[in-house]
């Protein structure tokens, strides 16, 4: 384990008639890089780091992930404004899964504007259970298929007043399913869909740090339209709501709450754009997409505790429910979730997290950078 007291000098000086300087070898540089990654550095425009490693999860099995993360500022003289962040991420696994993407939040000078973006593509040999809670709960529905997906999502926000932002958003989604072993579970829907979305969002953000908040509130309400005049064969609408709260409860302890609800409605919501339960950020431990439907409501509470130097732990509990509409919502279909994880401070206020999540008859292990919310 790398700790703060690791000190690797840049040179070793030998006192002799001929003074020599011995440079660090590659291994020493590698260890020194991680040992010094979270130490305070002179404020600079761009602070770039790379981290990666093996991981395992129910959906991708064994794999290797790599994240190139950057923290930067658009105004070196503004010491109060939080830094912007950008991450280039990639992943490959033994199932044939591969992923490449870039995401980030760019804060303009004086935080007058914010640009949020996420672009990625992946190929994923996975499992499909169908649509709705009952399909997902039926173990006999588990079937093979291959999913290809490309997504671009951009939000441009204007600051209305301190902490309050609003602005337009746009998205593009192309999803293609192949090699379904049980195509009847699609119920006649097309194997592939192309969705163009436009909308607007309003956000209230008082977090002290975007990637690892110790205090503050984050609220987001987003409305997206997928109308026919943009070329959508499936016309529908989406409302997305997020409410996060962060509070210090004792020395080194942060209590974090996350509420998320997503509603898809309209003429026809394609299977590719339905709300999916599970993944690396919410309902951790569930296979993402086993439970999918028009709507989802989910909640989680997490205790993050700093333990020693760069090490910390987290424990969480939560619940989620997928349903077609409010008339078909059933409390008995609510799925439980809990888990625990290890945190290592890779950079100041940027954690590498290893999470082990548990759900109803399922378990998942996740490796990621930055907190889940």
Concatenated DSSP letters of 179-238 = --S-GGGGTT--SEEEEEEEEEEEEEE--S-SSS-SSEEEEEEEEEEE-GGGT-SS-EEE
Burial 118-127 (b: 16+ CB within 10 A, else e): bebebebbbb
The answer to the question of residue 85 being in a domain is yes
**pLDDT confidence of residue 67:** 84
Separation CA 292–CA 290 (nearest Å): 6
Q: What pLDDT, on the 0 to 100 scale, is given for residue 79?
A: 77
Q: Are 196 and 163 in contact (CB under 8 A)?
A: no
On whether residue 124 sits in a domain, the answer given is yes
Task: Quick: pLDDT tens for 88-123.
Answer: 999 999 888 999 999 999 999 989 999 999 999 999
Please report the pLDDT score of residue 267 as a whole number: 82
Structure confidence at residue 13 (pLDDT) = 32
Residue 1 has pLDDT above 50, yes or no: no
Q: Which of the four pLDDT bands, split at 50, 70 and 90, describes residue 369? A: confident
- The residue that leads in pLDDT, 78 or 325, is 325
pLDDT above 80 (res 319) = yes
- What CATH number is attached to the domain comprising 256? 2.40.160.50
Please check whether residue 277 is in contact with residue 292, taking contact to mean a CB–CB distance below 8 angstroms.
yes
pLDDT digits (tens, 9 = 90+) for 4-25: 333 333 333 333 444 444 677 7
287 class by beta-carbon count within 10 Å (0-12 exposed, 13-18 middle, 19+ buried): buried
pLDDT at residue 32 greater than cutoff 90: no
Residue 173 lies in a domain: yes
Average the pLDDT over 244-271 and give the result: 96
- The pLDDT value recorded for residue 145 is 96
Lowest mean pLDDT among 39-48, 160-169, 282-291, 298-307: 39-48
Q: Would 358 be classed as within a structural domain?
A: yes
How far is Cα 178 from Cα 272, in angstroms, rounded to an integer?
12
State the total domains in the chain. Answer: 1
- Could you tell me if residue 107 is inside a domain? yes
Average of per-residue pLDDT across 244-261: 98
Question: What does the pLDDT average to over 359-370?
Answer: 88
Whether 280 is in a domain gets the answer yes
Q: Given this model, what pLDDT does residue 7 score? A: 35
* pLDDT the model gives residue 30: 56
Structural domain that includes position 272: 37-369
- Residue 321 confidence (pLDDT) above 90: yes
pLDDT of residue 57: 66
Q: Average pLDDT of the chain?
A: 89
Q: Are strands 292-293 and 295-308 parallel, antiparallel or unpaired?
A: unpaired
Mean pLDDT on 348-370: 90
pLDDT at position 31 is: 63
- Tens digit of pLDDT for each residue in 117-154? 999 999 989 999 999 999 999 999 999 999 999 999 99
Q: Is residue 19 part of a domain?
A: no
Mean pLDDT of 215-229: 97
Q: Is 295 exposed, middle or buried (0-12, 13-18, 19+ CB in 10 A)?
A: buried
Answer whether residue 51 is part of any domain: yes
pLDDT in tens, 177-199: 999 999 999 999 999 999 999 99
pTM summary value = 0.84
pLDDT band at 74 (very low <50, low <70, confident <90, very high): confident
Which of 52-66, 126-140, 209-223 has the least mean pLDDT?
Answer: 52-66
């Amino acid at each position: 384990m790398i700790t703060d007291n690791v000190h690797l000098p840049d040179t070793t000086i030998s006192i002799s008639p001929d003074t020599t300087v011995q440079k660090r070898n590659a291994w020493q540089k590698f260890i020194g890089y991680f040992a010094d990654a979270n130490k305070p550095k002179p404020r600079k425009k761009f602070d770039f780091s790379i981290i990666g490693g093996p991981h395992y999860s129910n959906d991708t099995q064994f794999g290797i992930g790599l994240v190139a993360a950057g923290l930067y500022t658009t105004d070196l003289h503004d010491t109060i404004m939080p830094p912007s962040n950008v991450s280039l991420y990639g992943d490959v696994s033994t199932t044939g899964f591969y992923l490449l993407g870039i995401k980030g939040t760019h804060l303009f000078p004086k935080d007058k504007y914010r640009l949020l973006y996420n672009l990625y593509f992946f190929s994923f040999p996975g499992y499909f259970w169908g649509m709705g809670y009952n399909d997902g709960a039926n173990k006999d529905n588990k079937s093979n298929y291959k999913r290809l997906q490309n997504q671009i999502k951009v939000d441009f926000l204007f600051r209305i007043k301190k902490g309050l932002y609003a602005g337009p958003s746009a998205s593009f989604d192309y999803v293609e399913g192949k090699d379904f072993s049980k195509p009847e579970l699609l119920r006649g829907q097309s194997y592939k869909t192309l969705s163009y979305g436009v909308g607007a969002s309003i956000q209230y953000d008082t977090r002290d740090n975007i990637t690892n908040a110790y205090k503050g509130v984050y609220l987001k309400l987003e409305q997206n339209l997928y109308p026919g005049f943009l070329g959508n064969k499936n016309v529908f609408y989406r409302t997305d709501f997020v409410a996060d709260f962060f509070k210090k409860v004792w020395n080194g302890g942060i209590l974090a709450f996350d509420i998320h609800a997503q509603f898809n409605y309209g003429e026809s919501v394609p299977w590719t754009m339905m709300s999916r339960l599970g993944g690396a950020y919410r309902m951790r431990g569930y296979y993402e997409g086993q439970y999918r439907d028009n709507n989802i409501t989910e909640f989680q509470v997490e205790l993050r505790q700093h333990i020693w130097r760069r090490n910390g732990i987290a424990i969480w509990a939560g619940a989620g429910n997928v349903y077609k509409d409010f008339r078909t919502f059933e409390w008995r279909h609510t799925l439980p979730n809990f888990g625990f994880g290890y945190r290592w401070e890779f950079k100041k206020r940027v954690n590498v997290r290893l999470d082990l999540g548990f759900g109803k008859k399922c378990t998942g292990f996740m490796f990621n950078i930055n907190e889940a919310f």
